[in-house]
Chain A
Amino acid sequence: MTQFGRQLGIGPTDNTSDQRTPRKPLRLIPSVARESFVPVVPARYVMRTHEWDMTRIAPGRPRGDGTPIEVKGTLRNENGTPIRDALIEIWNANHHGRYRHVEDASGLQLDENFFGMGRVVTDEDGNYCFWTISPGAYLARPDIGRWRPKHIHLSVSGGSARLITQMYFPDEPNNASDPMAILMGDGFENNIGKPYETSDLDVDEGYRFDIVVGGRNATFFE
């Protein structure tokens, strides 16, 4: 007998979400098959040592346009246990809202001093930290004038953890109309970076973004 789990929501004003979101509720995994279902992602250390500082393409080079920011936080499972040695892959648009990605056809300005992709690994207490340029918002649906608010993409993988999410910024004008934010409802608060002072750092703004990997991943190991 099929048992059902969550019904995934479709992001309003998001055509792609309409085309790609499964319409049937998700099925529950029979408990005897659970262990042979959930991946364990091996730790992968493929980053270059300077990738934590995305404000410049390489050490000693000029900074990209816009506001340099620091983002830091702790990666934990739902029980509060820190997840160490996890790979965090980060990507965000430049100050003008453009990605250095071959499929970004927005025509917005590239910044010769901004790459927009970086990788860091969590330390033994689950902490991570990176610098980047505060991303620009971009017009995702020119036909209806709908913007994507400023956001930074983060992919977390390692051991039992697997999560792709986005960090948003407080009090941004486009937050309320964003289809992803609408799907998150009240939980959207959890995906907003919390500002902190960075007076003694070489960045202008700081955002704390603690990440909790939930569900299936909470108890796997350690």
Chain B
Amino acid sequence: MTQDNGSNLLKATNEDTSGPFFPIYFQDESLEDLTVLGPGIVGAPSGQHIILCGRVLDRHGNLANGVLMEFWQANAKGIYNSPDNLGHPDLDPWFNGYGRLRSASGEYKFCTIMPGASDNRAPNITITLFSDGISRIVTQVFFEGHKANETDPVLKSLGTDDQARLIARHGGHTDGGAEIYLLDIVMAGANETPFFDDFES
């Protein structure tokens, strides 16, 4: 079970595709809308409500059915609910920043709050995608109109075309006052979304 190359590390279990049948039974509505805590609970995270929505597309431009999407973001003050930040005064007790949904059609809609800028980063949300045919792939989405986009290290590591593929467009707002942001994720092909390697980085 140990790795060759003179290292003592255990060999990681291979990632594998989730297949088409990830149980809908495991769905948890409280992870699909991070602006509410759960039925009947008074209390909500601070911050501007946003709706991040769009389509997940395959190499032929068709909707990718049966995708499982996970989201990870800082709170409105730019603080992540990670072990390093335990007890941080700007942690929002009503917001843990992890969301998950499964889209049968490939269209998605995630309700959350606008993340704050953390460290030297522009506001962003990490997206993890699982679906039939692929193992986990990850990327980060940014928001149109933020000045910090110009200096963000992840965006700066990409060419102009790829930067544009990660910046969600503003698409108006709902009657309830949530700002709408639109982003299509293209899994493969000409207009492919840039994905990142968090194993080798």
CB distance from B181 to the nearest CB of A (A): 19
Determine which of B59, B74, B83, B157 lies in contact with A18 in the assembled complex, contact meaning CB atoms within 8 Å: B59
A63 at the interface (CB under 8 A from B): no
Check: B42 CB closer than 8 A to any chain A CB: no
Contact between chains at A39 and B188 (CB < 8 Å): no
> Measured between C-beta atoms, what is the minimum distance from B88 to chain A in Å?
13
Number of interface residues of A (CB under 8 A): 77
Main secondary structure of the interface of B (DSSP, over half): loop
A195 at interface by CB-CB < 8 Å: no
The complex places the Cα of A79 from the Cα of B156 at a distance, in Å, of 33
Given known A19-B188, A26-B197, contact A184–B14 (CB-CB < 8 A): yes
* Least CB distance, B200 to chain A, in whole angstroms: 4
Specify which chain A residues have a CB less than 8 angstroms from the CB of B128 in the assembled complex.
39, 162
The one of B26, B138, B162 in contact with A89, judged by C-beta atoms closer than 8 angstroms, is: B26
Give the residue among A4, A104, A188, A216 with the most B Cβ atoms within 10 A. Answer: A216
Asked whether A203 is an interface residue with its Cβ less than 8 Å from the other chain, the reply is no
Given A78-B12, A221-B83, the answer on whether A26 and B192 have CB atoms closer than 8 Å is no
Asked if A80 is at the interface of the complex by the 8 Å CB criterion, the answer is yes
- Please determine whether B83 and A21 come into contact, CB atoms closer than 8 angstroms: no
Q: Is there an interface contact between A211 and B13, defined as CB atoms closer than 8 Å?
A: yes
Q: Is A165 an interface residue (CB 8 A)?
A: yes
Residue in A14, A40, A77, A165 whose CB lies within 8 Å of B14: A165
- Check B94 for interface membership: any CB of A closer than 8 A: no
Q: Interface-forming stretch among B44-52, B115-123, B171-179?
A: B115-123
| Contact partner, B10, options A21, A35, A80, A187, Cβ 8 Å | A80
Contacts of A144 in B (CB 8 A): none
Q: Is A67 an interface residue (CB 8 A)?
A: no
Q: Do A36 and B80 form a contact, CB below 8 Å, given A19-B59, A19-B133, A99-B21? A: yes
Complex Cα distance, B18 from A17, in Å, reads 12
Most A-side CB within 10 Å, residue of B1, B14, B135, B152: B14
Contacts of A166 in B (CB 8 A): 16-17, 19
The residue in chain A whose Cβ has the minimal distance to the Cβ of B28 is: A46
Q: Which of A1-55 contact B (CB under 8 A)?
A: 1-6, 8, 11, 14-42, 44, 46
Q: In this assembly, does A201 line the interface, its C-beta being within 8 Å of a C-beta of chain B?
A: no
- CB contacts between A and B, total, < 8 Å: 237
- Given the complex, which residues of A lie within 8 Å of B152, measured CB to CB? 33
A155-180 contacts to B, CB under 8 A, are: 155, 159, 162-166, 180
**Least Cβ distance of A33 to chain B in Å?**
5
Residues in A whose Cβ lies below 8 Å from that of B157: 1-3, 27-28, 30
Task: Verify if B187 is at the interface (C-beta below 8 Å from A).
Answer: yes
B133 touches A29 (CB 8 A): no
Distance (whole angstroms) from the CB of A44 to the closest CB of chain B = 7
* A-contact 0/1 string along B116-160, CB 8 Å cutoff: 001111001010101111111110100000000000111011110
Cβ contacts under 8 Å, A33 to chain B: 121, 152-154
Q: Is the CB–CB distance between A117 and B26 below 8 Å?
A: yes
- A19, B58: Cβ atoms closer than 8 Å: yes
Q: Are A22 and B201 in contact (CB under 8 A)?
A: no
Q: How far is the CA of A16 from the CA of B130 in the complex (A)?
A: 12
* 9 cross-chain pairs, A with B, having the tightest CB-CB distances, nearest first: A214-B12, A5-B197, A16-B133, A215-B199, A39-B72, A26-B197, A29-B201, A17-B133, A216-B198
- Of the A-B pairs whose beta carbons lie under 8 Å apart in the complex, a sample of 13, sorted by A's number, is A5-B201, A26-B196, A27-B194, A27-B197, A28-B157, A28-B196, A40-B83, A41-B72, A89-B26, A117-B25, A117-B26, A159-B83, A184-B16
